[in-house]
Structures are given as C-alpha cells and as structure tokens.
Structure 1
C-alpha cells in the first residue's frame, strides 16, 4: 500500500518562487541586452526617432560599450555566492536587481554628460550588480525545489533568459522608434526592474519556513523532501573548499559549463559574422532572423522540460541519466550543425538559417543537462558552486572572439571559418564525453553539514551486567 503525498495546492508558493525568478531573469536580461539596439539608435538617428541626440562613435568605442557589461559581470559571480549564504537570497537578489535598475535609469543623463566613456562605466557597474544574481538563483532553487520537481521549477524559471532575449530585441526597437526615443529604452528597463523588486520584496522568502503565504501541507512537503536536517535553515554551514576543488563530478561540471559557454558564444557571435562575410547576408539587419534562434531556444526549452518531466515521473531514467541525455542533445546536435554550416555557400542561405536555428534551439537543453547540476551536487553550497562555475564560464566569451580573430584573417574565406567551427564542435563533443564519464546528479558527501567535523566518536556503551553479577550485588 502506498499513501499519496500531500503536496499542498496545485499551484503553490514554490511555483510562485519559480515565477519570481523567471520575472527577475527576464527583467535583468532586458537591461543587459538592450545595449545593442541602444547603440544603433544613438549612432544612427535616421533609423529611429531623430529628435534625440546622435553620437559619432567609432567602431572601437562601440565595441567597448557592448563588452563593458561583462567586465563587471565576471568579477562578482563568486561574491554573489558568498553573500547569499551570509545574508540570505532575498536581500541580495533584491538589492542586486534594484542596483541594476538604478544603472538603467541613470544611463541617458550620464551619456549626455560623459559620452561613450560614461556609458561604459555605468555598464560595468550594472554587470557587477547582475553578477550577484545567478548564484542566488541556484541557492533559491535549492531551498524551494523538491528533488522530484527540480527540473520543472528550475527550467521554467530559466526560460526567463530566452524571454529576456526576445523582448530586448523587439521591444527596444519599438521604444527607440517611439516618442521616448533611445532614452526610453533605459527608462523602461529601469521601470521593469523596479516593478520586479516590488514583487520580490512582497512575495519572496529565503525558504519555506519563512514564507507567510505558504500552507502547512506544502511547507511540510518541501521540508521533508529536501535531504537536510532540522538545522538546515538555521546555521551557516562551513564551506568545504578542498573537497569542492578536488571533487571529480564538480570539476567535470565546471569544464562542461565552460565548453557550453564557448560553443554558445560561437553560435551567437561568430555565425552571424560568417553569414555576413561568406554567405553575404546580414541577419542582424533583419529582426525576424535575429530573434528566430532565441524563439527556437525558448520553445525547445519547454520540449526538454516536458520530456525530462515525463522520464523522471515514470521512473524510466534516473536524474543522472536525464542530465546526461539532455546535455548530449544540447552539445552534440550543435557540434554536427556547426560543421554543416561551414560547408554551405551563397546559394544555401535558407539552409544556413535553419541549421543556425536548430543549433541554438537544441542547445537550450544545457539548462536541464548541466546548468542545474550544481544544485544536485550540493544543495547546501549551490550558490558557491554556481559562483565558481559562472566566473569561469563567463570569462570564456572574452577568449572566443580572440581565437576566432586570430584564425579568420579574411571574413570571406570559408576555409578559415571552418577551422573555427571545427574547434567549437570538438570542444562540444569532447567535454560532453567528460561529463558523461564523470558527471552525476547524486548529492556529494561534502554537502553534509558535519562534513568538516570528520567522523564523530561513538558514545560509550553502558556496561553489560550478567544475571550472576546482579544476584551477587543484591545478596551483598
């Protein structure tokens, strides 16, 4: 006989927390990615509302503006993991999102005052603020997601990335063409971030025991399903640094996420340049072609989500097998299509768009495949693991264009581009093999609260008194 587990309402507070994460990711990605449209509007007033100032920035100055966000984003990833363990996810997420909104709001007057240099400076500060967020998100999911629902809640919340990508492209362009002009892009981004902060402040909680909206049944379900003791939310657990850095599953995850970052940056940055140089088509000038890969990524993320949910609920595959299967689709399909794109010529532009869309779409499986794996390895230290991983992974896109630039000396030479794509394909293939061999979704021994204390001494056993000894004692 089996008893049905009472999980609380169909849509509970844990689902609300996933929705809050989705909204937060969407809002910060809008602020992060609208810079591409903003720079075009600022430097080419004829393409948007001409009633606002126009700037004659060089190509180098524009490239500094476009990349400046990541200068700050890389350096605060680890700090975000540390701060949310010390002060709680709710506070760190709130102030990080609020600070990002402030940076958006002050951008237009700073540009008028200081030009592209001021724009770079405020983008660096925005990157520092947003660098705190993703380690907090993984810690929040670890606190709120029962293992059976971790894929579902984690993947649903992370679809905010694709939503933010699509909205930043379409909405920013419409705003720039409207009465608010290019300053309106920053002002509306700030408003979205502040609205997100209000929702987060009211409805977010560090864990189920602190929420004033959760019912007893749902709280009991969440707390009992998480494999932690009664002091899970009370004590600050020491971080087992040596165990983390010598953990084979963690190191496999680390290099896998770096490989994902290399491949995705090639898909997003280098393929458009290849299509322009070799196939003589500029997809950045076409809003539909620019957004199509991200729309495919958004749609495919739900395909991966539903598939993994069915496989896990039917117990057809273990969580480890699901992680490795989804990651293999996310890595190996793009590995094949990247090579295929390198052999296309000018007469096969449509096929190039199809292959690029498939590559980016299938790559969305990396969220379930490996991105959420840090929570599996260590729910207690998920933010620390994510901080380390994101620091390394976000440094990779700085290297990728340098390697491509060293190889491709002529944008019209297809042979040189093929070398770039083959390198990315090999990285996708090899590092997924490492993940298949050494990755796991099993919580590691060093996640335990008392791991650093070492083996505990056994309590002294009471002496065993025989019946004859007891009779002697009574007679005496």
Structure 2
C-alpha cells in the first residue's frame, strides 16, 4: 500500500518541490534588494570606510532615517491589494512583476541619486516597497495551491526561509561589493541582476497551479489536486471572499493576535537590544557586521531544525497538526520572552552573555513560521493570500509603534531600569499573544473556506423562506468520495486517449 501511494505522488522530487525552491530563491533575492540599503548608506556617506573612488554624500542622520524607513511606506500599502491581484491574475504574474520592478529600480538607483539626491532615493525606495508588498500574499497563495496538506510544513517552511537567507546575504554581500571595484553603486547593480535572473527562471519554470505546469507528470498533478479536494472548475472560478465570516472568526482573530505579538517582540529584539547594548553595556554591535548578522544567521539555521522536528512529529503521528502549531509557537514566543527579561538584568561585564542571549532568542523565534505563519493556509487554503495580506498589514503597523513606545519610556539610554520596562512589556505581549493562540488557535480548515460558502448561505436563507420540499430519496454522496471518482474518471479517459 505504501509503495502504491508513493507511485501515485509522482517523482520523489517533483514540480511542487521546484516551485518551493523558486519561492525560496525569489524571497532571497528580493530581501537582498530590500535590506542592502542599510550597508549601502554607510558606504555612500563614508567612502573612506569602503571605497574612496566613488562619490560621497553628506546626508544628515534624519535624512538617512527617511531613506531607511521609506521602503516600508510603500510596502504596507500593497499587502492587501496583493492578494486581490493574485486572485485576478495569478501568483506567477504578480511575483514576476514584483521582482522585475525591484530589479529595474535597483539598476537606476545610482544614477538617480547623482541627479536628485536623497529625496529621489526615498522615492525609489517607496516604489520598490510598493512592488514588494505583494510578495508574501502571492507566495502564500502559491503555496496553498501547490502544497498537499501532508507536505505543507515542509514546502512552506522551506520557502519562507528564503527571507532569512536574504537577510544574512544582504549584510555580507553588500559589504564585500562596496569595498570591491564596483563600489557602493555595485550593490544596486548586483541586486538588480539577481532579481532579473530570478525573473527569467520564474518565467520558465513557474506555474500558477499544477494543472497549468508544462513539466508536471499526470501522477503528481492528480496527487496535488485530489489532496486539496478541488472541484473540476476550481482554477477557473473566482471564489468570493466571506469578509464577515473571516473578520468574526475566532481562530483567525487568535492568529492575528499571535502575529501582532510576534512582530512586537521580534522588533524589540532586533531594534531595541542593540540600542540597549550601546547605552547600558557600552558596546556598539551595529558597527560589527558579524554581530549584526549573527542573530539572522541563527534564525535561518534554526528554521531547518524546526522543519525537521515538525516533519518527524507529523509523519510518525506523535502530534496532530494543531498541536505542532501550538507547541512551536509556544517555544518561539515564551523562550524569547524569558531572554528579553534576562538581558535587562545583565551588567557591563556580561556583554558576551547579552549577545548570546539576543542571538539565541532571535534564533528560537524562527519557530513562529511553523507555529503561526503557515496557519493562514491551514485555516483557509482558498483565501490564504488574503489572510496573509490582511494579517501582515495589521502586524506591520506594530514595528512602527515599537520604537515610539521605547522612546517614551527610555529618557536616559544609560538607565537600565527604563530598558527593563521596555523588555518587560515585550515579554508580556509575547506571553499573552501566545496564550490567545493556545486557547483559540487551530489548524482545522474553517467552514468559510468552502468554495460555495456564500452560495450555500444564500440557498439556506431562500430555503427557510420557501415551503419545505419533499425529503430526498437517497442520502447525498460523500464529497471526498465524489472528488476521487471525478479524478479517476478524468485520468482514465486521458489514459485511453
């Protein structure tokens, strides 16, 4: 029986794995283009530290802060629209345009800065943010139609680790390019070239779904589509979004609470701890590329550790999918919460311990990908892109609030007690955000995920108003059995042809 099921899945490494690899590479190159500015801006304003053969710009700290944050002004605006674009045009087109737009504006960045200064640089970053805001809704939508439920953790978590890989590479590659013969303009050129190369690869190998792929085998296509229980005309239909049902869904609201608390805690770990180390521990880790990238490197590596453990737990059926989600989310939230509190009590003699705790806490937080991020696909494969876009829009407001709250509390950056309050608030949010997810979260698909959910509700309302019909002579056929019969008939006819 097991050997037969393996044959039905098609090749051991199939097109669904290729799609996951393409998503991984896409997130990697686009995060390099997104995050390289933090290194590039240092090279632009201090040419002596990298390559003095290229022009130096004398920008104020405020102007540099505008440049660093301007990407997210555009990014947050297209998170929700990205899911609607995917439903209308497909994830393949949306991701292609996002990467192509990022590449074009990366190429024109050096010449544009020479012409218009920091203001034009901000404008370019805003436009790049608009292009990249659609990425995560599109990736989630793509995974939802390509990942069989039993492989969702494996394919989804691997794809999302591309963002961690891109974060690490952005710091290392950008520094090397800036010091090399290409100088700081080379950072933009290399980023644009990587995005352009991915566009070509994606155009050739990417496909909106299994039925559209020109490389997939019949067995793998049948395995994917039947496991997702799609109707025959699913990919040709535009399923309406049940707004009211989603916004009043307790499991989705629990997921939203978890995502918001995760972004608040993680932004505190990534943005405020370096400031604390500089003010209280008298250590400037932001000027050290190794210390700055170490937490992200740990996060990337830990993602694969979580992935392997989750795969074993589910394959051997030691835990249900819901239990795996809650277990990993608890580890990813509560251990970093304890780390935040501990860091606040370290003295100047414990700088190495502070760096270790920060690195470990950020690394452990990688479990939130399997814990809550992938939960959007669990709740509703048919509306996964919209759920990701909506939750990301709300969650991305939090990193804007984090530094503002810290700024109100920390009047004297050398006062440890004030920083302890900042870390304590983040730890409490981490703790209670996960409590909400533990109580109300689930990995079960919700009733409003059904393709005919709104239609069925309208029919039910009309039935209540109309006189009751005669009872059916025969019970309705099981929908799963009906789906299997349809797929068997389709591929039997295809084989006979």
TM over 0.5: yes
The 1-side partners of 2:218 and 2:418 are apart by 62
Ranges in structure 2 where 5+ consecutive residues have no aligned partner? 475-497
How big is the shift at 1:40?
0.3
The 2-side partners of 1:36 and 1:340 are apart by 29
> Within 5 Å, which residues of 2 pair with 1:63-462?
63-454=65-456, 456=459
Secondary structure at the aligned position of 1:233 is classed as helix
Ranges in structure 1 where 5+ consecutive residues have no aligned partner? 465-476
Counterpart of 1:470 in structure 2 is none
The 2-side partners of 1:227 and 1:332 are apart by 36
CA gap of 1:51–1:236, structure 2 versus 1, over 3 A, is same
The 2-side partners of 1:47 and 1:433 are apart by 47
Which ranges of 4 or more aligned residues in structure 1 deviate by more than 4 Å?
Answer: 455-464
- TM-score w.r.t. structure 1 length? 0.96
Counterpart of 1:469 in structure 2 is none
How big is the shift at 1:34?
0.3
The 1-side partners of 2:72 and 2:449 are apart by 31
Secondary structure at the aligned position of 2:51 is classed as coil
How big is the shift at 1:162?
1.2
Counterpart of 2:480 in structure 1 is none
How big is the shift at 1:368?
0.5
How big is the shift at 1:440?
0.6
How big is the shift at 1:459?
7.5
The 1-side partners of 2:83 and 2:260 are apart by 18
How big is the shift at 1:454?
2.5
Instruction: Name the stretch that deviates more: 294-303 or 4-13.
Output: 4-13
Q: In the TM superposition, what whole-angstrom CA distance separates every residue of 1:401-448 from its partner, at most 9, and x where no partner exists?
A: 111111111111111111000000000000100000011110000010
RMSD (CA atoms): 1.4
How big is the shift at 1:228?
2.6
> Within 5 Å, which residues of 2 pair with 1:21-100?
21-100=23-102
The 2-side partners of 1:342 and 1:155 are apart by 32
The 2-side partners of 1:297 and 1:311 are apart by 21
Matched pairs, number? 464
The 2-side partners of 1:42 and 1:459 are apart by 76
How big is the shift at 1:99?
0.6
Counterpart of 1:4 in structure 2 is 4
CA gap of 1:374–1:463, structure 2 versus 1, over 3 A, is closer
Instruction: Name the stretch that deviates more: 299-308 or 97-106.
Output: 97-106
- TM-score w.r.t. structure 2 length? 0.92
The 1-side partners of 2:412 and 2:437 are apart by 35
CA gap of 1:438–1:182, structure 2 versus 1, over 3 A, is same
How big is the shift at 1:4?
3.3
